[in-house]
Amino acid sequence: MRKSLLAMTLSLATASAFAAGEHGGSHSATPDAEVDRTVHIEAGDMWFGPEELNISAGETIRFEVANSGNLQHEFVIGDADAQEAHREMMQAMGNSHGDGHDGHGGHDMAEGAHGGEMPAVTLAPGETAELIWTAPTDVDTLVYACNIPGHYDSGMFGEIHLSQVTLTHEALAARR
């Protein structure tokens, strides 16, 4: 009986670990894309640095996100409505499960408004993660945020201003 309980406990723990995803790994919202430049993001406790970014439409960015804080954080990219929908979902999950990530795993895509997916990584304190993302060509402004309950409200968000001037790969390479 004890061996059966031990085996069941270990199998559940293993399944949970696999379901949670790899926090410190590399996540790509744009698989197999050629990266135009790397942008470093620092996630502190209740702030991001930098607070805003200027990116060209169509530019592929490798975000290197480092959590220098003492709390778990996420880095999610989306429009204001999608961020709000994700924040509400996280709040609902947090009310019943803790911080909103229990059962949600270390997502590399967050669900936004209307069920659409947003590129995202979740980081434990001291972790660094990579997210590769290509800027859309049909919007002017997006938001990056940590939607763990209370974090956005404390100022953990920033804006991405998208220039609609599409640059050639040579011009993007010169910006690196």
Sheet with 47-49, strands from edge to edge, namely 26-28, 128-134, 60-67, 37-44, 47-49
pLDDT at 117: 83
pLDDT at 13: 33
The HSE-up count of residue 144 (CA atoms within 13 Å, CB side) is 30
For domain 38-175, give the CATH number: 2.60.40.420
Q: Among 14, 29, 114, 33, which residue's Cα sits nearest to residue 76?
A: 29
Q: Copy the structure tokens of residue 124.
A: 């434990």
145: number of Cβ within 10 Å: 28
User: Secondary structure of the chain: what % helix, strand, coil (to 5)?
Assistant: 25, 35, 40
**Domains of the chain: which residue ranges?**
38-175
pLDDT at 10: 34
pLDDT at 94: 72
Q: Which residues of the chain, if any, have pLDDT below 70? A: 1-32, 95-116, 165-176
Note the pTM of the prediction, 2 decimals: 0.71
pLDDT at 29: 61
